[in-house]
Structure 1
């Protein structure tokens, strides 16, 4: 069956909009898992409801937790979670969600019966070997080194060394379940630098907020003490990475986009937009707790190390393709193991439209050229799809393949995009 094409709307005037974002996927899935392992019932408020978070909720239910949800509101979604004994004898679908495929197996290793994991076809190519080897070293029975695999516990914890250079989630997954292991866990990273360190900082902060003792004073070493995970209520921040295409629209069209409720302090990598976008020609201000981005009439190229904020690369690459000077994006070799090889995909799609992009070992060199109409392939990758929408604002005739893939983290993207452009209610 042919994949549907979405005609990317072209902006007819500078964008002037306030865009209210749903909750962070990264915070939501960490919060749901911690609540399922806590010492009593808890609530996760203003959570994101998307394919990735629904997969997490289904996985936690399979392992014995009870999750009930409120009705969706304009501000978000509330989950009430009652923990239960972690049980096995179940199969878990991880979809294409890195947080599910890497956070849930260490929890499943608390069960004494086998738990089977599988996911979407491309999920079987995503890096899983280091975390599965770590669980084996800690005492779990694990069959397989990638999806599909099975796990049987219990394990008591201890010290383990792994190479997490492919994904920070390999560390976070072990840390989140560690308080429930009899000996806790000490995780040592050995290898090239860990990407997306703000996501590990997010994990550590959320563990500490739940009363867990974590020592991260030694570089590349994280020690989690055994003990209870305190139940409570947590309110999820807006997803700042999902702000990227909307804020990029201000720069592309010379307009203004405001994101309400931008946190004053956060571990989300998307907060780096406050520093990156001014380097590309935007004006960025905070107004009464909101973030306001205004385009300056042109886009400047940028030389940027995105190692810690790789999820922003597709949007920054789209802006770079529309800039008036070249850009070099570095430090993101790990993006080859995401939903797709994002570096190859970005180079292919921009060049297909007439651009001039060269892949490097760890990034992209983008030399702006006039772009023309064509199909922008999404590769079942939500951030590729939104990057195509950004380019389509000023390049007529862009058709994005399978815009519905944005449901992974932003189910209402197409409607929100139209509303931002004044085309929807």
Structure 2
């Protein structure tokens, strides 16, 4: 390499390149600067230029590994340069330089650098910085530390930690967060609002990753906090049976949607939820159950599922065992409140045997009103769902009425 590098010629060369090629060229020059004084001089001149030139100089750090340059750029007037410098600090700065960078940054940018350092598993500079951090800033940054430092400092940070701090802590140090909350819950003698919202910040993540530990925490919290106040939906997804047992044991009401979980519960637990009014929307969960559990659920709550007109959702009638389905379909076709409302009444005919459905729907299929025919034809075709032998009749009907 020559003793001097033409500065102006380099800028003209770079101007003709794409961004990626331009960065690659500066990285190459950065590697050369490790042994070539001319490249060092070029970097120094670029660093004294405008934002474009200073950014070019900073890209050389990827090749040179010059942590001191990256540290200087942390305070550059250009936001773009500062952003690149933060990324470089995590890569090229030693531990002392990384700590110095953290001390220079705004809290928002401190979090960015801590995240980058943590991704590279550089816990030493993080831990050293946390151990010297003041009490006001410690809670929001403690989750980035190593397990040993987090465990050491958590109790002092607990009093001022917010819900977001605890969510981050649970994401990075789940067992420590759960154990600390369990200790606080066990030590509580009365209802503690702060403990409640910290627990709700952690419970969803804990339930997904360690459901048994989450269940144990809920049991401990239950001494002074109602299940209704806790965020338990995620735990219900992972431990539905145990959670139902806890509901039965405590008698608490809860804010949990069990409709997607009913098929994972036995008849006794289903009965317990239904009796407590905790299993709504039967049109969602009833079709998921086996025949006997559907029969038992209907016997227990069928009357309660009716609306003010006495009607059940069509999906509920469709899901009932054979004899109950027929009885409910006939009841709905004769229901006084539906007699003048064909759009609500006629679909129930699809739950009848083919011949009976055909007899009930024939007047509407032959009606000159196209809207009535549009209601009746799908209902009759739907009746074949329960009688596969009638699929040929349904196909013939579709063919005959293909223009409607």
Common fold: TM-score over 0.5: no
Please, what TM-score do these two structures have when normalized by structure 1? 0.19
Structure of greater Rg: 2
Q: Which structure's relative contact order is higher, taking Cα pairs within 8 Å and 6+ residues apart?
A: 1
Considering fraction of residues, name the structure with more helix: 2
